Amino acid sequence: MLNILKTGVLSATALLGAFLAPMAHATTTETVTLAASPPTDAKPALWVIKDADSTIYLFGSIHVMKPGTNWFNPQVQTAFDSAQDVWFEVPNLDDQAAAAAIAQKYMIDPSGSLTSGLTPQEITQLDALLKPMGGSTAAFKNLRKWAVGLVVTLQQINQLGYSPKEGVDVTLMAKARQANKGVRGFETLQQQMELLVPTSDEEELKGLRTLLKDSATVDTDIRNLFDAWTRGDETDLETFLVDKIKSEDANVYQRLIVQRNAAWEPQIETILAGKGTTFIAVGAGHLIGPDSVIKMLKAHGIKVERVRY
């Protein structure tokens, strides 16, 4: 389930904010200690496309953030400030009412079959993961497996000192609105959720089992990913992000990464055909690897350059 966040899918975090926030943001002593750690200077990856009358910046975001990380550095800020429009995966990430309505549709399982297909040992393990937030499989029986997995994942990330409330996308969206910039999106919250939700009972069960299997290494996984992102290391990002998603479930990789990138690429070409400066912030997983938006743009003859700083 960590891979849901890795892909850059934002709607899941928005849904939790609207529907499951009290459970997802339970705090621990470790969280407080990590949040008070010294500030970290980050140099996340930034790319630029230019033609005679247009400039497009492409920024690979991460949807959770460790407080005190200085990622909005002068180079990123200059690019952002120069833009008239800012594009995100979805334009209404901060619309709690819309998120709550969609949560009711996609996260609820009236049949109460959360534990169906799980072994007794897996149910015990899931209960143990839910316990820190005061939950249990019995208490969450009317939530779908993928939703419970997401709650567990965000709780684990929170315990490590990372906060969805300080994620790059929500921060940039707030800054864009404050500056009266145009806020645009490549897809709607509804469209993103339709791609995010597992397409079969088998896929949903597999996803929850992957969560249980990987729960012991989530600390290392998120630290490796966050460290690669703060360094703007494309090779490590591809290893810890793109390659891992692809190896765990090729079908999910196609649906959440490749198909969405292919849908976004022509929209970026349309932006480039216009005038002015645009700042695009999407999950880093969409800008890295062999099937990235950047690779697709280059395949169409568009020059994309990494901003070195």
Q: What is the pLDDT of residues 6-52, one digit of tens each?
A: 554 455 555 555 555 444 444 333 443 444 556 689 999 999 999 99
**DSSP 8-class letter at 115:** T
Give how far Cα 30 sits from Cα of 26, 117, 151, 161, 255, Å. Answer: 11, 33, 18, 7, 35
Confidence of residue 57 (pLDDT cuts 50, 70, 90): very high
> In this model, does residue 200 exceed pLDDT 70?
yes
**DSSP 8-class letter at 65:** B
Q: Is the model more confident about 99 or about 15?
A: 99
The 3-state DSSP class for residue 135 equals: coil
pLDDT for 24: 42
Q: Is the model more confident about 7 or about 294?
A: 294
Distance (Å, whole) CA 120 – CA 64: 32
Give how far Cα 34 sits from Cα of 13, 159, 165, Å. Answer: 21, 9, 16
| Burial degree of 43 (CB within 10 A; 0-12, 13-18, 19+) | middle
Model pLDDT for residues 121-139, shown as the tens digit of each residue: 999 999 999 998 889 999 9
Mean pLDDT across the stretch 302-307? 98
pLDDT for 34: 45
Mean pLDDT across the stretch 87-98? 86
φ, ψ for residue 45 (rounded to 5)?
A: -70, 135
> In this model, does residue 194 exceed pLDDT 70?
yes
Question: Mean pLDDT for the chain?
Answer: 87
Adjacent-strand bridge partners of 57: 48, 279
Confidence of residue 102 (pLDDT cuts 50, 70, 90): confident
188: amino acid identity, one letter: T
Please give the structure tokens belonging to residue 27. Answer: 């705090």
Model pLDDT for residues 241-281, shown as the tens digit of each residue: 999 889 888 888 999 999 999 999 999 999 999 999 999 99
- When mean pLDDT is compared across 1-15, 97-111, 234-248, the lowest value belongs to 1-15
Mean pLDDT across the stretch 148-176? 89
DSSP secondary structure letters along 186-199: SS-HHHHHHHHS-S
pLDDT for 28: 37
203-236 burial code (b ≥16 CB/10 A, e <16): bbbbbbbbbbebbeebeebbebbbebbbebbbeb
Mean pLDDT across the stretch 160-167? 87
Mean pLDDT across the stretch 275-300? 97
Please give the structure tokens belonging to residue 122. Answer: 């897996």
> In this model, does residue 140 exceed pLDDT 80?
yes
pLDDT for 174: 95
pLDDT for 63: 85
pLDDT for 143: 92
> In this model, does residue 78 exceed pLDDT 50?
yes
